[in-house]
Structure 1
Amino acid sequence: MKLRSIEMVLPAADQAADFLINVWGAKLAAQQNNTHYIRGSGTFPYLVALEEGDSKYVRSVTFVCDKQELIALKARVEASGFPARPEVSNDLGGGEGIIVELPEGELLRFLADTTEVDTLDDEDLPVKLTHVVFNATDAERTADIVEQVLNFRVSDRTKGMVFVRCNDSHHSTAFARAGFSSLNHIAFEMQDTDAVMRGVGRLRDHDRTPAWGPGRHGPGDNVFAYYIAPFGAVVEFSTAVEKVPEDYKVGAPEDWTWPENRIDQWGISDKDFAGLKVAEQTFSFRRTWQPEPLN
């Protein structure tokens, strides 16, 4: 299973697309009706869908899987009793599957039989999404649910987050111990550390400074730089997320501590705690569909 994309609704979607294309450094894949599809250099047809709407919310976060994974997932979701329905995707790449609403409102979509596209030869484009992180009122309960129902696996726990994977990448998502439910941030996987740093330079050319970073995380060991996008979401340049084996030992908060005044491995950058906290509450989740039987 792989994380593919996030689908968002917001006013002035064209302005958000302009930022992601002309400042952040992604590429327009297509514009269909009132939705802009933003892609990277990899094989996924898009990474972010920006749909014009009257308010800001996440309509889904999309994972792709094979048919056998989808059959098993359907059975577990149906047994859970969580709101869900069959899904035929009208987004780029098509596919059929299900969408499920978790207890704190997160909307996760799982598709099989999707189509991919040719790669692009551009070392400054993001390759894919490496993770999408959610805020949670009860991160532990949500992590337990995604383990039991979605067959994801917890990789690490810190004082701030529970990190969860759906393949051998250390985390495809995480649940922040925030006390509220919303989108925390979207992380774009860059080709390498140089590509991250060139991205930081590109944002500086547009008079934008990081809200946190550059730095290197503990869990996942990835290089990062976070920004508050003009459309309100937190977006991250990231690279080199750790690959972990099936028997990876789950870390506890006491395994991830830093010296005084440090919050990452490098300790070279400040963090805009107040600005990030506001931005992390900008996009909630909204279910606009009614549950239906999956079979």
Structure 2
Amino acid sequence: MSTMQIASPAHLYYLHISSENPAKLAAFYRDHMSMGETVHGESHVLQGGARAAIISPGPAAQLVSPAYALRDQLALDALRERLQANEVPMTPLESPLYLPGAFVIDDPQGRKTAWGLPNRPLIEDQEPARLQHAVFQTTELDAVVDFYVSKIGFTVSDEVVNEEDGRIMVVFLRSDDEHHSLAFFRGSRNEWDHHCYETREWNNIRDWGDKFAKLRIPIFFGPGRHGPGNNLFFMITDPDGNRLEISAEIERVAAEVSPGIWPHNEYTLNSWGRAWIRT
């Protein structure tokens, strides 16, 4: 069976985040990430040109689900057929950001991902930074990656390997031509690691850095360059402590390219200097 990249390309469209103070968190993304805000019941819906989020009451610092957009109805139908063939249950989803027909699936650890067609055209924002990928830590890396690859159709772009024991420590997965829209780190916890917004170039990285500096929001990781993906980046945190990455120039990978193998060290995670190593 062909991969998503070939049969049903998808990109990260919005995040559904829970917060103990959803109004405060929504204000951060509305004001600092330049998104419009509407309120649907207890949820705050945020939309920019190419970034969006739903923030609802619940535990702090949890990603309820990353939500992916398929390119058209044929691609969504192809994904449905694949999931049905692989006996993956699909739960219908009503969302203010999807057209009718969206659904949610659960991975082996209960982690949810949403799938559907966007209910609005995506355009570039005046401050370019489109929502691009989400990353998790997991205690069951092998089983989780197998699910996303064999059941859903993601493709492994790169693996990061512990040179001492040969264990795979990080896996980067693509759902279209970009290097990754989802990734997993082997860790001691099962939690949301970070999410990322992709800009056009290094000058945009500079502009976002200057903006956050004026807001007195410090960078905690970077600036630097990742090995896997080859993208420029820096990271900050939002009021709930969720980690937010600004990135530029992420690699595009052809469907036939085999996964790359990288050593698990600081240079791989940041070729410019010190790295944040998950434990």
Partner of residue 116 from structure 1, selected from 117, 120, 136:
120
Write the distance in 1 (CA, Å) between the matches of 2:156 and 2:91.
26
The alpha-carbon deviation at position 94 of structure 1 amounts to 2.9
Change (3 A) 1:85 1:169: same
The residue that corresponds to 2:219 in the other structure is: 210
- After superposition, the C-alpha distances for 1:182-241 in whole angstroms (9 at most, x for unaligned) are 211110112322111211122122222211011111111111111122212111111111
CA distance in 2, matches of 1:80, 1:15: 41
- Structure 2: gaps spanning 5 or more residues: 1-9, 162-168
Given candidates 256, 262, 271, the residue that maps to 1:265 is 271
Confirm or deny that 1:146 pairs with 2:148.
yes
Aligned letter for 1:69?
A
The whole-number CA distance in structure 2 between the counterparts of 1:39 and 1:147 is 30
Runs of 4+ in 1 over 6 A off after TM superposition: none
Question: What is the root-mean-square deviation of aligned Cα atoms in Å?
Answer: 2.5
The residue that corresponds to 1:90 in the other structure is 95
The 5 Å alignment of 1:35-54 reads: 35-42=43-50, 46-53=51-58
SS of the equivalent of 1:246 reads: coil
CA distance in 1, matches of 2:276, 2:146: 30
Superposed displacement of residue 78, structure 1: 3.6
Question: Using the alignment, how far apart are the partners of 1:118 and 1:166 within structure 2?
Answer: 18
- CA distances 1:65-116 after superposition (whole Å, capped 9, x unpaired): 23333333334434544453123x232343313210000221011113x322
1:166 counterpart (175, 178, 186): 175
Counterpart residue type for residue 134 of structure 1? F
Report how many aligned residue pairs link the two structures: 262
Deviations 1:161-195 (A, max 9, x none): 10000000000000111132221111011232211
Q: 1:73 to 1:143 in 2, by over 3 A?
A: same
| TM-score normalised according to structure 2 size | 0.84
Partner of 1:71: 77
TM-score, with structure 1 as normaliser? 0.79
Q: How does 1:109-258 map to 2 (within 5 A)?
A: 109-112=114-117, 114-117=118-121, 119=123, 122=126, 124-126=127-129, 128-159=130-161, 160-254=169-263
1:16 aligned residue (16, 22, 25): 25
